[in-house]
């Protein structure tokens, strides 16, 4: 996805969060400071996870480059081969899961895999 489209999606998500928080507040006029904080954190954590995933996938290392000489196995030093695209699930500091699909490097000598390569 292009940078402009990613940023457009972020703006839309931000607007939805603002609108959602305003609506929630109207429905919960007696909410405590802690409840307000928890509601905002809950809504922002999804936005934060989306931004992290999008930024990670924009990395130049997200795509395999056969010409790179520095993509070697950390275990035995052999040049890695493209192992194809794989999905990996990671967890953010705030407990949200992010699924990334990136190229996976595999060592032809010892079989060690690296995600992402490099």
Least confident of 13-17, 42-46, 56-60, 75-79: 56-60
Query: Cα–Cα distances in Å, from 45 out to 42, 95, 106?
Result: 5, 9, 33
- In the structure encoding, which two tokens stand for residue 94, read together? 């705030």
Rounded Cα distance between 91 and 104, Å, is 19
Least confident of 33-47, 65-79, 97-111: 65-79
Domain spans of the chain, in order of start: 1-58, 63-118
**pTM for the full predicted model:** 0.67
Residue 9, phi then psi, degrees to nearest 5: -60, -40
- In the structure encoding, which two tokens stand for residue 92, read together? 């953010």
């Amino acid at each position: 996805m292009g940078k402009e489209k990613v940023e457009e999606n972020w703006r839309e998500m931000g607007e939805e969060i603002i609108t959602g928080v305003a609506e929630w507040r109207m429905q919960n006029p007696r909410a405590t400071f802690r409840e307000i904080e928890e509601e905002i954190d809950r809504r922002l954590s999804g936005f934060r996870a989306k931004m992290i995933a999008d930024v990670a996938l924009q990395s130049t290392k997200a795509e395999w480059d056969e010409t790179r000489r520095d993509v070697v196995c950390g275990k035995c030093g052999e040049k890695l081969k493209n192992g194809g695209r794989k999905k990996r699930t990671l967890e953010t500091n705030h407990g949200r899961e992010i699924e990334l699909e990136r190229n996976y490097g595999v060592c032809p000598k010892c079989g060690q895999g690296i995600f992402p390569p490099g």
